[in-house]
Amino acid sequence: MSQVHDNGTGIADVTIIGAGPAGLFGAFYAGLRELKVEIIDALDEPGGQLAALYPEKFIYDVPGYPKVIARDLVKHLVDQTMMWQPKMSLGERVQKLDHGEDGVITLTTDKTQHKTRSVLICGGVGAFTPKKLPNPEFVQYENNGLYYSVKEKSVFRGKNLLVVGGGDSAVDWALNLEDYAKHVTLIHRRDQFRALGKSVTELMNSDVEVKTFYELKTIAGTGKVQSATIFDNRTKEETTIPVDAVILTLGFNVDLGPIKQWGLDMVGTRYIKVGRKQETNIPGVFAAGDISAEEGIEPLNLIATGFAQACTAVNFMFQYLNPGSKIFPGHSSEKKL
């Protein structure tokens, strides 16, 4: 196994902020280019949203896999990345980025400081918290039958399940849990879904009970969820159904947090503005994955896209660190791993 070149300074060549799929693959690719790499992530484990929110969900947009369970994809990415033994600093949130006159960038976290010659920001959507309905009585049922994400499918085995939402997560979980639950009902407030067309077709051909133009009014039970009251938003007619578990997939509130204070040009309030090289307006600072966008181009937030952007960024970072060098390093098949 090849080893990454140690630049002998104790300063990383590339520091990647974010240990999600794009960040992990970016670290692996930087290893191919023999750069000294550090990864920093606020979570206590690598994998980003895949690990934190839906480790048992199938992922469909990764080349080479017809479908792959999220936790398995994370394991493969971590194994691939650790071939080069990068420094992994987990459970640290980067708060400040300072560009020194000597070109060295200082990243200050809530625990310490890290020195690096370049930065690749792969922070996903930033900090994320689930969107919740404003019903105060729901709080008592959180993790007692009310869920905003699924970490263990076995929790729903043999239960009557209500899924609320019309996006990819709602449709995917309804289909994924169909064989685990006793019965699955999915309600959505309109008849148009935001999920992939193929998934919606599969949903409509499944045994999942789909009720469009329905919304959740309230849930009830003694110490745990036992029933849910839903209503037709056209007629306001209410129906109470027996359920043991409710999954609310209403999306997430996202916040880039301290990143917004680093002097980076932004596209709106959610995306770091990048150019064709995935470069930002700050020298030596690049961004890739869901956190980045080009001006005037709607971002395509796919894992596969994040992989490609991370590769692009790393190659141009190599040239930034080594002026006059080639951007294209040759094919990976030419390298001894």
Q: Are 32 and 329 in contact (CB under 8 A)?
A: yes
DSSP assignments along 145-178, one per residue: TEESS-S-GGGGTT-EEEEE-SSHHHHHHHHHTT
What is the per-residue pLDDT for 2?
A: 38
Distance, CA of 136 to CA of 108 (rounded, Å): 38
| Superfamily covering domain 132-248 | FAD/NAD(P)-binding domain (3.50.50.60)
- Token duo for residue 18: 């974010």
Domains 14-128+252-334 and 132-248 share a fold: yes
Inform me whether the pLDDT recorded for 9 exceeds 80.
no
Q: What is the pTM of this model?
A: 0.82
Inform me whether the pLDDT recorded for 1 exceeds 50.
no
Cβ atoms within 10 A of the Cβ of 102, count?
Answer: 7
pLDDT digits (tens, 9 = 90+) for 39-97: 999 888 999 888 888 888 889 889 999 999 999 999 999 999 999 999 999 999 999 99
pLDDT, mean of residues 176-201: 94
pLDDT, mean of residues 1-14: 66
In whole numbers, what is the pLDDT of the chain averaged over residues? 91
What is the per-residue pLDDT for 6?
A: 56
pLDDT digits (tens, 9 = 90+) for 209-248: 999 999 999 999 999 999 999 999 999 999 999 999 999 9
Q: Which residue has the higher pLDDT, 71 or 6?
A: 71
What is the per-residue pLDDT for 49?
A: 86
Tell me, letter by letter, the H, E, C secondary structure of 228-278: EEEEECCCCCEEEEECCEEEECCCEEEECHHHHHCCCCEECCCEEECCCCC
pLDDT, mean of residues 193-219: 95
pLDDT, mean of residues 21-34: 96
Q: How confident is the model at residue 127 (pLDDT cuts 50, 70, 90)?
A: low
pLDDT, mean of residues 5-30: 88
Nearest to 81 by CA among 21, 124, 122: 21
Q: Are 14 and 322 in contact (CB under 8 A)?
A: no
What is the per-residue pLDDT for 130?
A: 81
Architecture of the structural domain at 14-128+252-334: 3-Layer(bba) Sandwich (3.50)
What is the per-residue pLDDT for 196?
A: 86
- Token duo for residue 305: 């896209």
pLDDT digits (tens, 9 = 90+) for 128-150: 678 888 888 899 999 899 999 88
- Token duo for residue 243: 């359920």
What is the per-residue pLDDT for 337?
A: 63
- Token duo for residue 124: 């996903």
Q: Are 170 and 163 in contact (CB under 8 A)?
A: yes
Enumerate the domain spans of the chain.
Answer: 14-128+252-334, 132-248
What is the per-residue pLDDT for 251?
A: 82
Q: Residue 76: enclosing H or E segment and its boundaries?
A: helix 70-81
What is the per-residue pLDDT for 83?
A: 94
Q: How confident is the model at residue 3 (pLDDT cuts 50, 70, 90)?
A: very low
